[in-house]
């Protein structure tokens, strides 16, 4: 069902409790290295401020031990960066549901912005604790979810808090609306040919995604290290290339690859050649070999040039493209060539193109194609969940339009 948007609610003089996804990467000096997720929430934030509301922002960052403060996971740098982007002070609470957060939330005036400390510093967040949820819910007059990247998680700030809001408005932010629109529309009503590109390391991480995509796509292109599991399933040799190290899990992965190949038939495209190195470094000895014919001292680090050309040709002819996972070690030339070829083909095509977060988003940005695709998702795991065909309970409980 369509959901109410933040723009559908009168926020004048009200405090909007907003779940955002400021789970941004930080370097060793706690400087933000990519602020995409912060920038992506600006339309929703500005909508509230321009209409006379104030904001209490909640987010997680990283995976701290529950109930423990860890400076490297503090949201303080995000508050500073958001303030720079807004051109105004963003207040920061040194706790999440404690006295500092509650006092600062109570004192907010129209136009003010407050960011609470990392919700995962509180044990109640991952437990979806009702008491913790109510304490947060009591701070706001309106609840807004604009945290697509976290929507698959039934945590307190995403699930318990909107439940605890009772009859208060519970709405969707513009970023979440856009993410859901692109990904659900791509699955439900794609312009054909519908092509999915799936890379990454493990078959086990993306079994459900690949299986679901084989039901709805015209072509599914496999790249990344997971291609070596398929090669082994076909009886090939992969040298030192990555495969699941646990013997029992490896058996399951190989059997899964066989089942996916049987299900996919001509829809499932696997690499025909592999770019290899004798060491995981840019200056290693290199060779290109047929897929499944990697010598013992080499490891596959990228799809080969024949595969890159074949994949690019398929992508250029597509009507809709969904991409999740790079084709090789895109951070290390020359093993970025396969990923580059796919990214260039997407940029050259007239297809609706959706980049599914994570490493794919990083690759598109690094290669300078960010402005040449239709949509770059802010949530790798969440976009995978939608591609699996799952729905989000955290969205379902928000107000219907």
What is the set of active-site residues?
Answer: 37, 202, 358, 381
Whether the Cβ atoms of residue 198 and residue 223 lie closer than 8 Å to each other: yes
What whole-number distance in Å separates Cα of residue 200 and Cα of residue 209? 12
C-beta separation of 321 from 375 below 8 A: no
Task: Give the containing element (helix H, strand E) for 336.
Answer: none
Angle at 49 between CA 44 and CA 50, to 5 degrees: 95
Q: How far apart are CA 226 and CA 196, in angstroms?
A: 15
DSSP assignment string, 218-275: SEEEE-STTHHHHHHHTT-EETT----SSHHHHHHHHHHHHHHHHHHGGGEE--SEEE
Is there a contact between 143 and 163 (Cβ–Cβ < 8 Å)? no
Kindly report the CA angle at 193 between 189 and 197, in degrees rounded to 5?
95
| Helix (H) / strand (E) containing 198 | strand 194-198
Backbone angles phi, psi at 168, to 5 degrees: -65, 150
Contact of 395 with 145, CB cutoff 8 Å: yes
Element (H, E) at 202: none
Phi, psi of 95 (to 5 degrees): -135, 180
For the stretch 255-259, contacts whose Cβ atoms lie closer than 8 Å and that sit 24 or more positions apart, written own/partner, are 256/203, 256/204, 256/207, 257/203, 257/229, 257/230, 257/232, 257/233, 258/233
* Torsion region of 224: left, alpha or beta (phi above 0 gives left; psi -120 to 50 gives alpha): left
């Amino acid at each position: 069902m369509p959901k109410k948007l933040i723009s559908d609610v009168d926020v004048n003089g009200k405090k909007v409790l907003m779940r955002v996804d400021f789970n941004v990467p930080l370097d060793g000096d706690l400087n933000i290295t990519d602020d995409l997720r912060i920038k992506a929430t600006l339309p929703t934030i500005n909508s509230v401020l321009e209409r006379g509301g104030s904001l209490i922002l909640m987010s997680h960052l990283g995976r701290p031990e529950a109930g423990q403060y860890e400076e490297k996971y503090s949201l303080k740098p995000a508050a500073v960066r958001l303030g720079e982007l807004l051109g105004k002070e963003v207040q920061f609470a040194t706790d999440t549901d404690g006295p500092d957060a509650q006092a600062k939330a109570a004192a907010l005036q129209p136009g003010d912005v407050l960011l609470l400390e990392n919700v995962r510093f509180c044990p109640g967040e991952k437990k979806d604790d009702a008491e913790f949820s109510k304490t947060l819910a009591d701070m706001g007059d309106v609840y807004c979810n604009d945290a697509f990247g976290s929507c698959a998680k039934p945590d307190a700030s995403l699930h318990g808090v909107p439940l605890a809001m009772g009859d208060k408005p519970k709405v969707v932010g513009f970023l979440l609306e856009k993410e859901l629109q692109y990904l659900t529309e791509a699955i439900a009503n794609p312009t054909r040919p519908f092509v999915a590109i799936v890379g990454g390391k493990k078959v086990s991480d993306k079994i459900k995604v690949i299986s679901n995509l084989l039901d709805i796509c015209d072509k599914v292109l496999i790249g990344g290290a997971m291609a070596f599991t398929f090669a082994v399933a076909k009886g090939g040799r992969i040298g030192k290339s990555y495969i699941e190290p646990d013997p029992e899990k490896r058996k399951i992965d190989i059997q899964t690859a066989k089942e996916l190949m049987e299900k996919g038939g001509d829809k499932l495209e696997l690499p025909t050649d592999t770019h290899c190195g004798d060491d995981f470094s840019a200056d290693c000895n290199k060779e290109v070999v047929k897929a499944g014919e990697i010598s013992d001292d080499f490891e596959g680090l990228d799809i080969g040039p024949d595969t890159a050309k074949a994949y690019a040709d398929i992508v250029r002819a597509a009507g809709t493209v969904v991409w999740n996972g790079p084709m090789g070690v895109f951070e290390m030339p020359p093993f970025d060539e396969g990923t580059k070829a796919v990214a260039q083909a997407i940029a050259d095509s007239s297809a609706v193109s959706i980049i599914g977060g994570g490493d794919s988003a990083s690759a598109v940005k690094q290669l300078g194609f960010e402005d040449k695709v239709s949509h770059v998702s802010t949530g790798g795991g969440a976009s995978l969940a939608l591609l699996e065909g799952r729905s989000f309970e955290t969205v379902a409980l928000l107000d219907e339009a």
